[in-house]
Amino acid sequence: MTEKIKVGLLFGGMSSEYEVSVNSAFNIYNAIDKNKYEVYPMGMTKDGYLANPVESNNLLQDAKYVVERPHSVENINHIFELSDYPKMDVFFPIIHGNIGEDGAIQGLFRVLDVPFVGSDVLGAAATMDKDFSKILAEDIGLKVADWIVIKRPQYEDQVPELVDYDLVSAKLGKKLFIKPSNQGSSVGISPAHNAAEYAASLAEAFKYDDKVLVEEAIDMIEVETAVLGNDRPIVSGVGQIVNATNDYYTYENKYDDSSTSTLQIPAAIPDEARDTIREQAIAIYQKLEAFGLARVDFMLEKGTNEVIFNELNALPGFTNISMYPKLFEQAGIPYSELIDRLIQLGIERHNHKTELSHNVD
């Protein structure tokens, strides 16, 4: 009998998207092929404590569960807590936001020399930063919303051309979107139509990051596609966010049970726009050095149908309403098979990098 592959399903973490991560892990755990994989939930608390197997299972069942700490261990710096688990064959990180998507946890896996699902350090870091993503998208000819960047020292010094609504709106338009550069799930994002709203939006965004983007508002519909693979990735069809109550896709509309937003798959858009979106998704996936998986978000301008790149999420959600698995399900790859492919891609990527390192030796 073939020994099962041991998978460390790492979730939770020091992020504003903590509960989303737990819910994604719950879905992955239930969908994964238990005949092929032996799955070990590995829960991390909001302050970075790596829970033992029993507490991790408790957290997996309830995102609001408070983890008990049998040792006086403060955070994951006490890496010996991994001794509570057997040696993993591969890790499946589903920690959204900071630590999980910015290259940090990927760097840990590289140090441990173990396979893992998703992008490497460079790809994770580049895709997490919205500013760098837009710069690299422009470099390969993709259209992006016009924007400016404000660093925390500039905000603290109240540099007029960056914090004065009249000056900024003269460049970007009367309606603005303010975003932390390194956050996901619409955390810290808000629109501004006047000076008071702009000041409040900047204050909110700087709660989450030291770098904030201010973007022009575009009259558009939100569309997304999904990419799967390493060096020769494939792309799904295109889905559309249908938002009944808000003019942008908020955290609440993404995840609250009372959300009025729906996912329309396939998107009700022209064939030419769909083809462009899928082509550009592959292009930016490869430019940003993404591997394994990504959800790529675009805007389709109303009236012109111009395709505008928004961002690439290298570790998208796997909740029961998440676009990434739904897009591939519509493309003929069911959830369980998708999880299997992602794990195998991580193992293949690690084996390839190991071969390269041997060539150097």
User: Going by DSSP bridges, is the β-strand pair 176-180/211-216 parallel, antiparallel, or unpaired?
Assistant: antiparallel
CB-based contact 343:53 (threshold 8 Å): no
CB-based contact 213:179 (threshold 8 Å): yes
User: Going by DSSP bridges, is the β-strand pair 220-229/292-301 parallel, antiparallel, or unpaired?
Assistant: antiparallel
**Number of alpha carbons in the 13 Å side-chain half-sphere of residue 10:** 27
Residue 74 pLDDT = 53
CB-based contact 129:182 (threshold 8 Å): yes
Continuous segment of H or E residues that includes residue 313:
strand 307-313
Residue 248 pLDDT = 52
Dihedral angle of Cα 245, 249, 253, 255, to the nearest 10 degrees: 170
Residue 244 pLDDT = 53
Angle at 25 (CA atoms; ends 66, 282), nearest 5 degrees: 140
The number of angstroms, rounded, from the C-alpha of 258 to the middle of its chain's C-alpha atoms is 23
Q: Look up the pTM and report it.
A: 0.90
Residue 245 pLDDT = 52
Question: Distance of CA 70 to CAs 50, 54, 81, Å?
Answer: 11, 11, 11
Show the DSSP H helices in the chain as ranges. Answer: 18-31, 53-61, 104-112, 121-128, 130-139, 152-156, 160-163, 165-172, 195-205, 251-255, 271-287, 323-330, 335-360
Question: How many C-beta atoms surround the C-beta of residue 11 within 10 A?
Answer: 29
Residue 255 pLDDT = 45
Which pLDDT tens digits describe the chain residue by residue (361 residues)?
579 999 999 999 888 788 989 999 999 999 999 999 999 999 998 888 888 899 999 999 999 999 887 655 555 545 556 777 889 999 999 998 878 889 999 999 999 899 999 999 999 999 999 999 999 999 999 999 999 999 999 999 999 999 999 999 999 999 999 999 987 656 789 999 999 999 999 999 999 999 999 999 999 999 999 999 999 999 999 999 887 555 554 444 444 555 556 899 999 999 999 999 999 999 999 999 999 999 999 999 999 999 999 999 999 999 878 999 999 999 999 999 999 999 999 999 999 998 887 776 5
